[in-house]
Structure 1
Amino acid sequence: MGRYVDAEGWMASATGFGRRTYRAFVPHPLAGWEPSLSGHALNALTAADRALAAAAALPQTSLGGTLAEWMLTRDESIRSSVIEGVASTEPGLEWARYLDQAGRPVSDENDALTLGATKQIAAAVDLGQKMRAGRTATIEEILDIHRRLFAGTRDHDIGGGWRDQPIWIGPAGCLVEDASFVPPPAEHVSGLMSDLVGYLNTSSHPPVLRAAIVHAQFETIHPFEDGNGRTGRAIIHAVLVSAGLTNAAIPISTALSSDRSRYYGALDATRVMCAPDDATARSAATHEWLSVFSDACEQAGRQAEAVTRNVESMVARWQHAASFRSGSAAAKLLDALPSMPVLDAPMAAQRLGVTERAARGALTSLEAVGIVRRTGGQRNKRYTVPDVVGMLRQMTPDGGLPQHRIEPTRTSDPPVPAPHAHAACGHLGPRSGQRCALPAGHAGQHRYPSS
């Protein structure tokens, strides 16, 4: 739903590196647009709304609600990252969280990025809660959500700033003429994002429809150098929470990642050329995407409902097994476990505001009833929560890591070739064992050839 423009930028071509003309798609603003929906689209949106509302309406204890929210956010961050070819194992993400909470760097880039995705989803949920309370979203808050993805990674400098160069989507390393989609030139980004945030704050459209429109428009704008897909999916949660349809993150990326071709194809179908006031063409272009998005929301609602029920059963077992004195260090530690899937005595002491001796006593009490399990040696004792680990593995049996390494068929950070485009980066991937195939001096994440 937009128009094509001719623009100029520095990029590689078949004849070398230089300034060249390229053709890009600029979406129409969202302000004032009223989509006309088919009966099928309305039914799909209604089913999604009911599934999400049913999950949010389930009764939850304080501990169970916090734990379910953490589990669903974790699963969403893993699956959203997998869509972009960033695969993190479940133990790897747990260890990354432990290192981060201990104030130590996360050396594995995939784990650091997936941890960043967890943080940006939490920030999006927080934004949604503020909007539900009457606040309006700001451009700076959108930039902050993006910034959190890359904090603590080697690409931290690209977080929180609009792109200032051409970008295109297609197979890793492709030239602009081979791209499947070319987003708007950089000079259009700021204005389009201001329009999107305005729509986010003022739209009276139903929540699922509003979230679908925001996500499709965001992905079409592609405002960042990298991390557009993960940030765009995080913002979905801000929309749904702000409307009161959900209370926390839902595993929508689990559904979208199950058929990425359909997901990408439905987004592509929204990018038709038409006049801004051609309501018929604009609305027709959204029908496939609304079907895909509604199905994903409905599936996510059912999964969130199942996780909530299972977590409440688990918490009931814990409370039956443990009769800790109210206000004791052990009782406080039990309540804090959702934020510390891997922990040690110093970390517990800091979180609870008690001495390390008291923290060790609390850990011993939880270990005695089987809620936590000791790992590591005598000098470096750490603890995990076996019930939580088991449930996480049921939610994501492969821990997020595909049986065969996934490389993105599309990339949100097309290479920015160096003047000598024939020189390869050559960075050795710690997981793939392969050399980065992008040109030397490229920006953004490394990309490795498909195995």
Structure 2
Amino acid sequence: MTLLESLRGRRRHETDARDRQAHGSVLMNSHALDLGDRTTTQVDVSDIERLHRDLFTDTDQQFDAGRLRDEQVWIGSGQRTPERAHFVPPPHTEVPPLVTDLAAYISDSAVWVSPVAKAAITHTQFETIHPFTDGNGRIGRALMHLVLRREGRLPLAVPLSAAIDARRDEYYRSLRPYSTFIGDPDDEGRAAAMHASTQYIADAVIVACDYAEAAARFINDWEHRCAVARLRNRSAAREIIDAMGEAPVATLLFLSDKTDRPRRSVARGLSHLVDIGLIAESRDIESGARVFEIPEVLSVVDNRSELLEESWGLNLAGAHDIAEQLHELSAAKAAEHTTGMVAQPRCDHVGVRNGKTCVRRSGHPGDHSY
């Protein structure tokens, strides 16, 4: 989502840093899904280290990415000692064999019937080992995508991290009893602690799936409206629509580069698409740049936190048709967004020689465009 946000504003160092982090997350999750597709190949420690390297690609992190920690760490204490920490992971000397054992567990397809249960146990065990000095939460969630792909054959990664972020405090509470358990491996208390973590992850998977279904409905709705518009093949408008299917918020320059068309041609295509209501035009608040958006699709992105919170509440209340309710809520938000846009009127200048009306907006800088 930070990549979309960056298109709306000026390029700043912190924006670039967020983009690099987002890029690292994309690489990490893409590799996790690729590992999930390799059902006949064993997952090993080097694969998990590769995920960590991907996550911190081109970032300014001051440590060796892709290497298991070689020091003791602890969580939840600002002190120099772990005396008051919420959780103290195993000593670093124990990390390599523990990660090796976890990789073998992931690789064994006969271990569990339920992909969600196996994903939850993999995640909980990984977070308890805490094998890296940073990024363990993101790697642990990527491992859940790996397991769900490998065991459940899911065609795509549902936004599980976003669902967890919506109820992060509950997430930590679900992990802590297992991570801090001290006792016999067969103790009922340990089993109850793992059950609590598994139940939370199972709920998060359902919430993520409902959100993903609502998003898919918006994309399908928009594609249907595009089909009804009967845009001419190989026209600028048609190619813009294809490009914005991958980038639902874009600038004129981006679309010109993406479609390999002159800016004037793209400008005319954009004007037509705005006129028939397939996209909306606004201006970035900070830079003043013209931005073209698909309001329905962006509504799912911009209102993600509210939609996920709504999904959590509806799921825990035992509601039905949750994806449809999220779809309706997001549609209302999209309508508010579109209504709130201040659309500038079209320039009314008519060319002296060609008799055509300028396709740019009223008050535009520079020359007219026909």
Instruction: Return the TM-score normalized by structure 1.
Output: 0.57
CA pair 254-316 structure 1, distance change in 2 beyond 3 A: same
Q: Which runs of 5+ in 1 are unaligned?
A: 1-73, 75-91, 401-451
Aligned residue pairs: how many? 304
| 1:238 aligned residue | 146
SS of aligned partner of 1:324:
coil
Which residues in structure 2 correspond to 1:12-411 (within 5 Å)?
74=1, 94-96=4-6, 106-108=13-15, 111-112=18-19, 115-116=22-23, 118-120=25-27, 122-124=29-31, 126-127=33-34, 130-131=37-38, 134-155=40-61, 157-173=63-79, 175-204=81-110, 205=112, 206-271=114-179, 272-274=181-183, 278=186, 283-320=191-228, 322-356=229-263, 358-370=265-277, 371-375=279-283, 381-397=290-306
Q: Which amino acid aligns with 1:324?
A: L
Q: Which has the higher contact order (CA 8 A, sep 6+)?
A: 1
AA partner of residue 297 (structure 2) = V
CA distance in 1, matches of 2:231, 2:36: 33
1:50 maps to what in 2?
A: none
1:121/1:237 contact within 8 Å kept: no
How far, CA to CA, are the matches of 1:329 and 1:244 in structure 2?
41
SS of equivalent to 2:38? helix
The 1-side partners of 2:62 and 2:230 are apart by: 45
Instruction: Supply the AA of the counterpart residue of 1:96.
Output: S
Find the aligned partners of 1:289 and 1:369 in 2 and give their Cα distance: 49
Deviations 1:135-160 (A, max 9, x none): 54454443343334333443275433
Q: Distance in 2 between matches of 1:398 and 1:287?
A: 27
Instruction: Give the superposition deviation at 1:121.
Output: 5.9
Structure 1 or 2, whichever has the larger Rg, is 2
Question: Among the aligned pairs, what percent are the same residue?
Answer: 30
Check whether the contact 1:240–1:246 (CA below 8 A) recurs between aligned residues.
Answer: yes
**8 Å Cα contact 1:113-1:149 kept in structure 2:** no
Corresponding residue SS for 1:115: helix
Instruction: Quickly say closer, same or farther: Cα 1:387–1:347, change in 2 above 3 A.
Output: same
Alpha-carbon distance between aligned partners in 2 of 1:294 and 1:301, rounded to the nearest angstrom = 11
Amino acid at match of 1:390: S
**Alignment partner, residue 57 of structure 1:** none
Listed as ranges, the gaps of 5+ residues in structure 2 are 310-370
Distance 1:357 1:280 in 2: 70
Indicate the structure with greater helix content.
2
Instruction: Give the CA deviation at 1:218.
Output: 1.0
Q: Structure 2: how far apart are the matches of 1:168 and 1:378?
A: 43
- Given that 1:150 and 1:156 are in contact with CA atoms closer than 8 Å, whether structure 2 keeps it comes out as no
Cα distance, 1:192 vs. partner? 2.1
Distance (whole Å) between structure 2 residues aligned to residue 354 and residue 249 of structure 1: 33
Local SS of the residue matching 1:160: coil
CA positional deviation for 1:292 = 1.8
Q: Distance in 2 between matches of 1:257 and 1:265?
A: 13
RMSD across aligned positions (CA): 3.7
CA contact (8 A) 2:27 2:54 kept: yes
Structure 1 position 201, deviation (Å):
1.9
* Aligned mates of 2:249, 2:300 — CA distance in 1: 15
> Structure 1 pair 158/111, CA: closer, same or farther in 2 (3 Å)?
same
Q: 1:97, 1:220 → 2: CA distance?
A: 38
